[in-house]
Amino acid sequence: MKLYSYFRSSAAYRVRIALNLKGLAYETVSVHLVKEGGHNRRPEFRAVNPQMRVPALVAPAGEVLIQSLAIIEYLDETHPAPPFLPGDPIARAKARALAQIVACDIHPLNNTSPLRYLKNQMHQEQSAIDAWYHHWVIEGFEALEALIEPGPYACGKDVTLADICLVPQVANARRLKVPLQKFPKIVGVDAACLALSAFDRARPENQPDAE
């Protein structure tokens, strides 16, 4: 499989973790999201993903899949072990909810495009953009901190979709200097996950395009 990725993309980071957890080999195709206004905006990448975002996964038969949660679900459906969701429907809904706090509520507000829009179209100072970024991470993390179960992982003793989404968001929060002292459970889950090779190999600094 081929993964269109960018080392700092947290959505691509989710898919890298998922591929590693399933033990699936893949080739990384780097799409630089910053240089020259973003190589993701070039026609050749638009032809791959009309949304012009990473990740995009080229499945074995050549279909291009986009949206990290859809890709992760595809991987879980085609390679059921180890499962990304618990067996019990209530526990599954809880794991999905944690994942969606990150993927639907925190990340879209703090992604490259909205931040660039705040800067270039709304003419906001960098300090205001940083405050915006911190605000949405902290609000989401307060909810996650209250919802995380006794560990070591976000939903208990097994790694789930919740961890796959949480760890990349924590990496972004650290990079943007969001204080994490108020979130000991999140920090603990992050450490437990990163002790696993599948998570460690997916880290931004361990990617072929890392800078």
Ligand X SMILES: N[C@@H](CCC(=O)N[C@@H](CS)C(=O)NCC(=O)O)C(=O)O
The nearer residue to ligand X, 136 or 151, going by C-beta atoms, is 136
Residues pairing with 65 in the sheet: 57
Give the DSSP letter string of 98-155: HHHIIIIIIHHHHSHHHHHHHHHTS---HHHHHHHHHHHHHHHHHHHHHHPPSSSBTT
- Please identify, using beta-carbon distances, which residue of 33 and 198 lies nearer to ligand X: 33
Nearer CB in complex with ligand X: 53/96: 53
Binding residues (CB under 6 A) for ligand X: these are: 9-11, 33, 38, 40, 53-55, 67-69, 103, 111-113
Q: Quick one: which of 38, 16, 34 has its CA closest to 26?
A: 16
Is the CB of 51 or the CB of 184 nearer to ligand X?
51
Please tell me the number of Cα atoms within 13 Å of 211 on its side-chain side.
Answer: 10
Residue 67: CB minimum distance to ligand X, A: 5
- Nearest approach, Cβ of 88 to ligand X (angstroms)? 25
Name the 3-class secondary structure at 10. helix
Sheet holding 27-30, edge to edge: 27-30, 2-5, 56-58, 64-66
Can you tell me the distance from the alpha carbon of 65 to that of 123, in angstroms, rounded to the nearest whole number? 34
Shortest spacing between CB 135 and ligand X, in angstroms: 19
- CB of residue 16 vs ligand X: minimum separation in angstroms? 12
**Spatial contact of 116 and 41, defined as CB atoms under 8 Å apart:** no
User: Please, what is the minimum distance in Å from the beta carbon of residue 9 to ligand X?
Assistant: 4
Q: Which is nearer to ligand X, 88 or 205 (CB)?
A: 205
